[in-house]
Amino acid sequence: MLSVVAVCADVCPLVDAAVSRRGEYAADRYAAGVGVEPQLAAALQVLGGERAGGRDWWPGCSIAIPR
Q: Report in angstroms the alpha-carbon separations of 55 from 4, 39, 42, 43, 65.
A: 44, 20, 16, 14, 20
Say what the pTM is.
0.48
Residues for the chain: how many in total? 67
Mean pLDDT rounded to a whole number for the chain: 76
Does some domain include residue 46? no
Q: For residue 12, what are the domain limits?
A: 1-33
Kindly state whether residue 12 falls inside one of the protein's structural domains.
yes
For residue 24, is it within any domain? Answer: yes
Per residue in 21-48, pLDDT tens?
888 888 888 888 888 888 888 888 888 7
Domain-located, residue 16: yes
Contact in structure between 36 and 26 (CB atoms under 8 Å): no
| Alpha-helical segments (H) within 1-67 | 2-33, 37-47
Q: Is residue 6 part of a domain?
A: yes
**Does residue 42 form part of some domain?**
no
Does residue 39 lie within any of the structural domains? no
Asked, for residue 28, whether it belongs to a domain, the answer is: yes
How far CA 34 is from CA of 15, 21, 24, 26, 64, in Å, comes to 29, 20, 16, 13, 39
Give the residue-averaged pLDDT of 7-19.
85
